[in-house]
Amino acid sequence: MKFICPLVVVDDIKKSRYLYESVLGQTVKMDFGENVTFEGDFAIHQREHFQSLIDKRDIIKKSNSFELYFEHDDLADIVNKIKNLNLEFVHEIVEQPWKQQVLRFYDFDKNMIEIGERLEHVAYRLFQQNHSLDEICKITYLDKETVEKAINEYS
């Protein structure tokens, strides 16, 4: 068996495509009209069509039981874009215990989206704050080789 992709249900596929393509920078891999798959291997599906496939069962919005996760190092830019679309934040930028900065918000259909900085960026940021390589590895759970590569990449 092969896992293919997660799928989120949306009310307005055009509006959702705008969010995922224009704001979150995703590229369409396949477009089947009421079902669109993105290069990152997740899909959006038009609510009415999807509901017809599951015998008209209820689709519950804002369940907080699932999220799509993206990475982007300029979170402040994303916060502004989300605010401009009047989307609801779960929370703006917060720091996780492993020092990664993340934000979470609901898309137009109340599906939770998380955007976090790359762990390599976290390693570089900690290096800039004068943490030792060993400390960075301990905090981020990254191995020394990955941390050294990240520091070189961002320097």
Q: For every residue of 16-70, which 3-state class applies, written as one string?
A: HHHHHHHHCCCCEEEECCCEEEECCCCEEEEHHHHHHHCCCCCCCCCCCCCEEEE
Q: What is the pLDDT of residues 29-68, one digit of tens each?
A: 999 999 999 999 999 999 999 999 999 999 999 999 999 9
Residues 57, 7: contact at Cβ < 8 Å? no
**For residue range 77-120, what is the model confidence (pLDDT) as tens digits?**
999 999 999 999 999 999 999 999 999 999 999 999 999 999 99
Q: How many helices (H) and strands (E) does the chain have?
A: 6, 8
pLDDT in tens, 139-152: 999 999 999 999 99
d(CA 83, CA 86): 5
The enclosing H or E element of 122 equals helix 119-128
Per-residue model confidence (pLDDT) at position 9: 97
Give the other-Cβ count within 10 Å of 115's Cβ.
22
Instruction: Identify whether the C-beta of residue 7 lies closer than 8 Å to the C-beta of residue 20.
Output: no
pTM for this model (two decimals): 0.91
Sign of the torsion angle spanned by Cα atoms 105, 110, 112, 116: negative
